Amino acid sequence: MTDSRSAVAAALLGLATTGLAGLLPPMTGAPGDFAQRRAGAEVAAVHRIPVTNEGLYRIDYPALVAAGFTNPVGNALRMYCQTQEVALYVSSPGALSASDYVLFYGWGHDGYYTITNVYWLGEGGSGLRMGVADAAPLAGGTEVTATWKQVRFNRDILFGRNTRPTDTNFDHWAYGQINTSSLLQATVSTDGRAPEGMAQLDAILVGVTAAAADPDHRTRVRVNARVATTNFTYDADGRYFGSCIFSNSWLSNGLTTVDFIQIPSGVPDDRAVLEEFTVGYTRLLAATGGVLSFAGRPGTNNFTVTRLASNESAWALDVTAPAAPVLLTNMAVSDVAGGRTIRFGAVTAGSNLYYVCSTSAVRGVTGIERVMFRNLADTNRQADFIAVCPYEFRDGTYRLLEHRYLTGLKVAVAPVSDIYNEFSYGIKDADAVKQFIGYAFHHWRAPEPGYVLFVGDGSYDPKNNKGVVTNFDWVPVHLGPSAYDWSAQDSWFAAVNGNDFLADVGLGRLPVSGATDLTGIVAKIVAYDGLAATNSWRKKALLVADANDGINDFDADSDSVVDPHLLSNGFSRTKAYRDSMTAPQVLGSITNSINGKVLLVSYFGHGAPDYWSADQFFVNADVNGLNNSVWPLFLMLTCRNGMFDDAAKYTISESLLRRPNRGAIACAAASGLSVPAAANYFADGFTASLVNTQQQARVGDLMNAGFLNLWTVSPNQPELLFYSIIGDPAQVVNP
């Protein structure tokens, strides 16, 4: 048992980073990185079965027929999960009849975007079947009635954008904050606790505050009100792995409460966060609800499992290789007070994993979805413009695709669920979307796509850990590091050619939560494209700048970066600079200029998701006061105006885009905390591309010109990834 306990901390670290390790291989921009990743392609499997919980699953014959299997033959049925064929148990090898069934062992997915795994069922050839092992009790075997059990507590409630922002091994989720004034409590199930033995708690903590004192943090841990340790000590914002051992008897035979508190150590307002913890303990081999999953022990052993359902058959599997479980047979069975008991023998070199369940605890498959594949990996495809959308938004998306086609682009639609099915084995993951874009770029017929549009909102909280009703994750978000925060990086999806941060396609997003918003935005896009190229407002711009804060001279930035390009190309410019106006005057100038029709609005200064400047001279509510009939392009050189991924913060860029018949046609904005110097280089390239002699027509090209200008001086600048288009990248602003 000592060896098992010592491995807990290492195992916990592995669990903590599972979701970050990635479902798909790394993408470094080489053509070979991007490939179709379809489970069961060998037999063209099209029947999709979602699985969230570990268990033995049963598919009955009527469910097979209802799903479209005609005259199914047992030997021909085959199942796949990700890259592996999954071994089945089939009640009959020949033609199946009404009483026949299929069994498989399934498990969930430990990912950032979903906990649902996907299994694919098909027909063809000879399928992989569960192995069978004689598990009759062994003479001279060690009798085992208890083993080491680990229970993981990893509820994600607290999201920290600014905690360790450059740490890519931390998903930035935690359970809660620990301070010196109140207990942070968590409850875990420790059912089946053995009366004797030792237990162990392993925790991952992250420091928040920092001070000159050493160490900065000291955490006390109690188990059911007994102090397990006061010696979890660590520094600054470090990630700390702590472990302590105590008596098994401290645990409840049911729910155990663990609490954390910071011990004052001379550091004012000492704060940390609890990322997760595990409790390892000696557990009796007693089933709960007719089910027991446990790790065995090396050697020659007889395992006795109690409290299974009385007078029912029991299934026992060795699931050490989960895709190829082995069915255990010839077990000794007896019925005693408290339920059925099984006893089986095994000779193993390691701690094999076992799953035991009563017949009534076998899980049913509630629905088998038959998928119609769109064959997005067809190398004969070609498109200039690709829309990635959920099926819920297909009407508005098709209206936009029709418009783009009629204005000269070859178009394609890629429903996001179909991308998952073809490029991530059916499992929801943002990497799948980049896989698809990279595949289309490298493997579809030339010329490669120039523009990709995401139709649908996305969330940093794809599993809705916070339980927000308005949290929508229609097209997923990729999150990544910057110097200051962990933020959405839509432009990461566009960097598919070469191992760099430079976008290779123009990519934008319409962050809509419903079809009504989409209908209004598409109507604006179509109407804008119908406006005359000779209109005088196409040579007008509004320049807005925040007050000089002693570090940043935003007037000077605006005058030296954007204004020269406008001036040399004959633009009429209105300047609303906070240094020379009151905040109400700035708002008045913004409103009057936009209502008076301009092509471009630029803003240099401080900001937040829903406002400009610490003075808040332009906020979300002011968008409703606009009465403009021409919708300008906004260049927002500030922080977080494009942070669309937070359902609790409705950004100013979203407000401008979604406002029906008013607001903006598109916004170039940052989702994270932007560095002014980087923003200036980006703005220089963007504006030059917009107005100079060899100007670019579409917003996606303007963005990529801005990125290129920044990339030439700072190729690893995070702004290359977190500046993005809130709008259509194929939007023509210079017809």
Contact 201, 9 (CB under 8 A): no
- The answer to whether residue 317 is domain-embedded is no
The SS3 assignment for 421 reads helix
- C-alpha 432/C-alpha 631 separation (Å) is 34
Domain count, the chain: 2
Residue 16 has pLDDT above 60, yes or no: no
Those residues whose C-beta lies under 8 Å from the C-beta of residue 604, and which sit 6 or more positions away, are 544, 545, 546, 554, 555, 557, 558, 561, 562, 637, 638, 676, 679, 683
Domain final position from 284, 299, 332: 284
Q: Which amino acid is at 405?
A: Y
Contact 285, 354 (CB under 8 A): no
Those residues whose C-beta lies under 8 Å from the C-beta of residue 564, and which sit 6 or more positions away, are none
H or E segment at 2? helix 2-6
Percent of the chain with pLDDT over 90: 91
- C-alpha 495/C-alpha 434 separation (Å) is 9
Residue 179 has pLDDT above 90, yes or no: yes
- C-alpha 473/C-alpha 159 separation (Å) is 16
| Residue 264, pLDDT score | 84
Residue 291 has pLDDT above 80, yes or no: yes
| Residue 21, pLDDT score | 52
Could you tell me the CA-to-CA distances from 46 to 118, 181, 363, 366, 425 in Å, in that order? 12, 55, 22, 17, 11
The reply to whether omega before 50 is within 30° of 0 (cis) is no
- The answer to whether residue 346 is domain-embedded is no
- C-alpha 538/C-alpha 599 separation (Å) is 5
- C-alpha 606/C-alpha 616 separation (Å) is 10
Please indicate whether residue 337 or residue 494 has the higher confidence score (pLDDT).
494
The SS3 assignment for 394 reads helix
Report the pLDDT averaged over residues 97-114: 96
From 86, 60, 106, select the one nearest 357 (Cα to Cα).
106
Residue 513 has pLDDT above 90, yes or no: yes
For residue 200, give the CATH number of its domain.
Answer: 2.60.120.1200
pLDDT tens-place string over residues 444-468: 999 999 999 999 999 999 999 999 9
Please indicate whether residue 701 or residue 692 has the higher confidence score (pLDDT).
701
User: Out of 17-21, 150-154, 679-683, which region has the weakest mean confidence (pLDDT)?
Assistant: 17-21
The SS3 assignment for 18 reads helix
Please indicate whether residue 60 or residue 13 has the higher confidence score (pLDDT).
60
| Residue 367, pLDDT score | 83
- The answer to whether residue 311 is domain-embedded is no
How many helices and strands (H and E) does the chain possess?
Answer: 16, 44
Residue 22 has pLDDT above 80, yes or no: no
Q: What angle do CA 397, 667, 683 make, to 5 degrees?
A: 135
Q: Where are the beta strands (DSSP E) in 160-213?
A: 173-174, 176-178, 184-189, 198-207
pLDDT tens-place string over residues 120-157: 999 999 999 999 999 999 999 999 999 999 999 999 99
Percent of the chain with pLDDT over 70: 97
- C-alpha 544/C-alpha 213 separation (Å) is 45
From 678, 567, 534, 555, select the one nearest 613 (Cα to Cα).
555
Domain final position from 284, 301, 327: 284
Q: Around Cβ 467, how many Cβ atoms within 10 Å?
A: 8
Residue 6 has pLDDT above 60, yes or no: no
Please indicate whether residue 20 or residue 290 has the higher confidence score (pLDDT).
290
- The answer to whether residue 303 is domain-embedded is no
- The answer to whether residue 607 is domain-embedded is yes
pLDDT-based confidence at residue 180 (cuts at 50, 70, 90): very high
User: By residue range, what is the domain housing residue 258?
Assistant: 2-11+147-284
| Residue 237, pLDDT score | 79
- The answer to whether residue 21 is domain-embedded is no
Token pair for 445 = 């017929």
Residue 73 has pLDDT above 50, yes or no: yes
The reply to whether omega before 564 is within 30° of 0 (cis) is no
Q: What is the 3-state secondary structure (H, E, C) of 464-526?
A: CCCCCCCCCCCCCCCEECCCCCCEECHHHHHCCCCCCCCCCCEEEEECCCCHHHHHHHHHHHH
Q: What is the 3-state secondary structure (H, E, C) of 19-48?
A: HHHCCCCCCCCCHHHCCCCCCCHHHCCCEE
For residue 715, give the CATH number of its domain.
Answer: 3.40.50.1460
Q: What angle do CA 663, 544, 482 make, to 5 degrees?
A: 85
pLDDT tens-place string over residues 589-630: 999 999 999 999 999 999 999 999 999 999 999 999 999 999
List beta partners, residue 343: 304, 332
Domain final position from 284, 304, 333: 284
List beta partners, residue 219: 232, 262
From 34, 38, 13, 15, select the one nearest 25 (Cα to Cα).
34
User: Out of 2-16, 484-498, 643-657, which region has the weakest mean confidence (pLDDT)?
Assistant: 2-16
| Residue 214, pLDDT score | 78
Contact 113, 428 (CB under 8 A): yes
Residue 734 has pLDDT above 90, yes or no: no
- The answer to whether residue 241 is domain-embedded is yes
Phi then psi for residue 410, to 5 deg, are: -80, 130
Q: What is the pTM of this model?
A: 0.94
User: Out of 2-11, 260-269, 317-326, 718-727, which region has the weakest mean confidence (pLDDT)?
Assistant: 2-11
| Residue 695, pLDDT score | 66
Q: Which amino acid is at 380?
A: N
Q: Which amino acid is at 473?
A: D
- The DSSP output letter for 193 is B
- The answer to whether residue 312 is domain-embedded is no
| Residue 459, pLDDT score | 98
Residue 542 has pLDDT above 90, yes or no: yes
* Mean pLDDT value across the chain: 94
